[in-house]
Structure 1
Amino acid sequence: MPEAVIVARLRAAGCVFAEDEARLILTTASTPQEREAMVAARVSGLPLEHVLGWAEFCGLRIQVDPQVFVPRRRTEFLVSQAVALARSGAVVVDLCCGTGALGAALAAQVEGVELYAADVDAAAVRCARRNLPGVGVFEGDLFEALPGGLRGRVEVLLANVPYVPSGEVALLPAEARLHEAAVALDGGGDGLEVLRRVCAGAPGWLAPGGVLLFETSERQVPGAVAAVEAAGLVARVAVSEEFFATVVIATMGLDRS
């Protein structure tokens, strides 16, 4: 199938970046049959990353399985903030890890980190284990999934929590709403329910001076900062116009007494 034909089919299906998508499909597919299947799947509305089986994130090729949350480019800003704070050999946890993209990206940029990851969704855990070979990836509800030996040792806690308010999930683009697990999108009534649980539990797991980093929306910043401060952590907000991203950095005090 010529590239021009693929581009035309994708454009007719509403794919804005049809040329780029066609090139990715052509370079990923290993046979004409696989290429046709990929084009048909994309035309049907399947997210490109699920069609390809991977997503580019921080320069890495992250494997993405069906129904697993696709890492967003804006979240690269969260990773950059974490990289700036992580020391070589730091104990790092990727909570609500999805594909494990955040942990993988940080580990690729900071030497010798001791990385752990966890997610409540079994499909995400299976996917993350492939993206994080040799890393402990655990299945369970937030901190309950982690080994107890990490208590008080975590220096960098990445938590890409769901933060879409329940009433707004139905307004999400179909690619997310229909093809990603609801548990990775729905943040409860105001979108901050999971975040509050993470903030409340974080002090028991962070090392002195440790940091919790999470993404949120601009309008949710006051509520997110309030959750951080209610947990006894100190909040700082970082904003990127380039990535259209807002990240809250919550720091544990040095004195745990």
Structure 2
Amino acid sequence: MPDVLNGDGVVERLRAAGCVFAEEEADLLRAAASSPAALDRMVERRAAGLPLEHVVGRAEFAGLRVEVDAGVFVPRRRTEFLIGHAVDRARPGAVCVDLCCGSGAAAAVLLDRIEGAEVHASDIEPAAVRCARRNVEPRGGLVHEGDLFAPLPPELRGRVEILVANVPYVPTGDIGLLPPEARDHEPLVTLDGGPDGLDVLRRVAAEAPEWLAPGGALLVETSERQAERAAGAVAAHGLEARILTCEELYATVLVATRPA
């Protein structure tokens, strides 16, 4: 086995494990390791298939470095398209909510980019809540543990201007087609959106109108093939839907606005 003290040795081990961007990953692992022994353990974990972000304990998202614990959903680069539109829509001091927050990456960006924003985040997974609190609360936000809207302070009803909900949207039958990094190392509840992938979105859409302020917007990531049905799901509850796409990031976002 190559010596992990040798940079080429790390790259070779990662390449042998099938890591496409072995050189870049080797640099990140070396930067994160506190000792040669720690580097060896990290390379071993990555070669075994753990997501790189779980191995190094962090991810880069929309220009921020956020902590990502093992067993917590890894923020995707395509979600930067969603959060960019959320930030663009927000006024200074906006009341914002991040549902299904995972690591709290989206909430952290809202706090970083929107002057004076009041940001709340929630997730049903205790591990995600613990991780999100480290990313969100030092920036001035609050993280709540529970299912969707249930743990949010009731005084937010009718006041939320930006509602980000990165809900699970993979159809149950497609879970087995996901890359092993996601399928084997991220909680199923963060991936499985039910038979057609829209179960959780429908639940969010049903409650969103009572939480949104007049003119407030719900922003949800979805897939190109689900977009039309997703728009119908929010329109059924009186929200005005439009679909945004980004070919570069292969991202599809549903923006559903409560009429003013």
The TM-score with structure 1 as length reference comes to 0.98
- Paired residue for 2:103? 99
- Mapping for residues 172-211 of structure 1, pairs under 5 Å: 172-211=178-217
Equivalent residue runs for 1:110-149 within 5 Å: 110-133=114-137, 134-149=140-155
1:37-85 CA distances to partner (integer Å, 9 max, x unpaired)?
1001001111100000001001111100111000000000001111110
Aligned: 1:28 with 2:32: yes
Structure 1 distance, partners of 2:219, 2:67, is 23
Indicate which of 85, 93, 112 corresponds to 1:81. 85
* Residues 79-118 of structure 1 deviation map (CA, whole Å, 9 limit, x = unaligned): 1111110011000000000000011112211111000000
- Specify the alignment match of 1:109 in structure 2: 113
1:33 Cα deviation after fit:
1.3
State the Cα deviation string for residues 227-255 of structure 1 (Å, max 9, x = none): 1100100001111011110001000011x
Separation in structure 1 between the aligned mates of residue 106 and residue 20 of structure 2, nearest angstrom: 27
- Secondary structure of the structure 2 residue equivalent to 1:186: coil
Match of 2:15 in 1: 11
Aligned counterpart, 1:45: 49
Distance in 2, Cα, partners of 1:106 & 1:236: 21
Deviations 1:193-234 (A, max 9, x none): 000000110001000100000000000011100011001000
Structure 2 CA distance for aligned equivalents of residues 146 and 230 of structure 1: 24
Aligned residues: 254
> In structure 2, the residue corresponding to 1:76 is in which secondary structure?
helix
1:171 Cα deviation (Å)?
A: 1.3
What is the CA–CA distance in structure 2 between the aligned matches of 1:244 and 1:173, rounded to whole Å? 16
Residue 135 of structure 1 and its aligned partner are, at CA, apart by 2.1
For residues 140-197 of structure 1, give each alpha carbon's deviation from its aligned partner in whole angstroms, at most 9, with x where no partner exists.
Answer: 1111111111000100000000000011111111100010000000000100000000
Deviant stretches of 4+, over 6 Å:
none
SS at match of 2:107: helix
SS of structure 1 residue aligned to 2:169:
coil
> Quick one: distance in 1 between partners of 2:172 and 2:146?
21
Which residue does 1:164 correspond to in 2? 170
Partner SS state of residue 11, structure 2: helix
- Unaligned runs of at least 5 residues, structure 2: none
- In 2, the alpha carbon distance for the partners of 1:43 and 1:229 equals 45
Q: Secondary structure at the match of 2:162?
A: strand
The answer for unaligned runs of 5 or more in structure 1 is none
Residue 153 (str. 1) matches residue 177 (str. 2): no
What is the letter of the counterpart of residue 121 of structure 1?
Answer: E
Q: Which moved more, 1:5-14 or 1:105-114?
A: 105-114
* Letter matched to residue 170 of structure 1: G
